[in-house]
Homo-oligomer: A and B are copies of this chain.
Amino acid sequence: MNLNPQILIIEDEKNIAMYIASILRGASYRSEFATSGICGLNLAASLCPDLILLDLGLPDIYGFEIIEKIKSSSDIPIIVISARTKESDKVKALDMGADDYITKPFGSGELLARIRACLRHHQKTTRSCTVYKHLNFTIDTDKRLVLLNEEPVHLTQIEYKLLCLLSENAGKVMTYSSIIEKIWGPFMDDNNQILRVNMANIRRKIEENPAQPVHVFTEIGVGYRMAENDAG
């Protein structure tokens, strides 16, 4: 069963946020708020929403920075909602990586249509299959279940995210810093000690012999790579 798409609203004016949320609810999207930029960035990292609606006029962080940070660590589509009609703002936001730009006031129909277009567009890039198959284990992201030799294995939140991330990118090396950014968010420092510990825990759970892994290899000085089997 797939949940309805989750949308994160980053907007400092409560009443506008509430208004948007009600529109989204009417279209049966799940929505979350953030009333500041920092808060928004953290929520974006922890929730991994399907889409972000971003107001540019935030109190703490310069709106364009948020676009940059989110896009550097993820692929989440961003629709900018702004009172600024100046062309230079639109250009800047779009070039920073925003996927669309709507100026206030806007109609609920247009907002929803643009959200649909954005989500549709994005789905083409993200594979629809929710099961990663490997040599002797599978990940079912739909059920959040990992089976090792048909037997369920318990993974903690972080371990699970990490395994999924590597599965998604099976075959190619993911650098330590990119992994850390994707799992712990953009404010985590680049110390990969914590990553090493988690990888050790994962290997203890899914590798026959953790000292000679067959699933996740380490490229010394660079990062980790998951074996490219029939993942996907």
Contact = CB atoms under 8 A, between A and B. Distances in A.
Interface stretch (A36-44, A111-119, A204-212): A111-119
A45 interface: no
Contact of A95 (B87, B88, B113): B113
Contacts of A75: 124
Contacts of A143: 171-173, 225, 228
Contacts of A100: 100, 117
Interface in A120-139: 120-121, 124-125
Interface residues of A, number: 39
Among A95, A121, A124, A220: residue with most chain B CB under 10 A: A121
Specify which of A91, A98, A99 lies most central, judged by the most chain B CB atoms within 10 Å of its CB.
Answer: A91
A26 interface: no
Contacts of A220: 156-157
Interface string A148-189: 000000001100000000000001110000000000000000
A121 to B, nearest CB: 6
Interface of A: 75, 87-88, 90-91, 94-95, 97-100, 107, 109-110, 112-114, 116-117, 120-121, 124-125, 140, 142-145, 156-157, 171-173, 219-222, 225, 228
15 contacts: A87-B110, A90-B110, A91-B109, A95-B116, A99-B117, A99-B121, A121-B121, A125-B125, A144-B173, A144-B219, A144-B225, A145-B172, A156-B220, A157-B220, A157-B222
